[in-house]
Amino acid sequence: MGVLDRPNRNEEGTHGLSLPLFHETLTEAVVSTIHAAGGFKRVAAALWPAMKLESAYARLKACVDEGRNEKLTLDELDALIAMARAANCHVIAQYLATAHGYVLEVVDADEQRRRAKKARRAALLAELARLNEEEG
């Protein structure tokens, strides 16, 4: 499948899409994620709501064209990953985890909030302990 090709539609997978199981490049993972998140037009409109749809669409296409200089910013990539997560697509996260020797664990929203709260509590306790040591 070429980088800009559409994935096959079927009854399984994210939004009825059959996404590749392996991506050789981050760009391929991003393109699959765009398809899973609703397609180029929907994602472009969400990333750049102030732009005309045609301009946003062309910009997004340019961002995933490896021959062009335009690229997604880190904040735009983060927004795309959030859109994909809402569509139960974890392709970019899986690509990055695999490429860099990590294991991806997808957790539901309640578990994510619980873990964030626990981490915040631990950080506050560590800060309190540090302040107590400075006083003593």
Q: 8-9 and 17-18: which strand pairing?
A: antiparallel
The residue-averaged pLDDT of 22-42 equals 93
Residue 27: both structure tokens together: 């760009």
Q: Is the pLDDT of residue 13 over 60?
A: no
89 vs 86, 95, 132, CA distance in Å? 7, 12, 45
Q: What is the chain's mean pLDDT, rounded? A: 86
Q: Is the pLDDT of residue 68 over 80?
A: yes
Strands (E), 14-135: 17-18
Q: Domain locations in the chain?
A: 8-104, 106-136
**In the prediction, which pLDDT does 20 show?**
65
Q: Percentage of the chain with pLDDT > 90?
A: 67
* DSSP secondary structure of 35-47: HHTT-HHHHHHHH
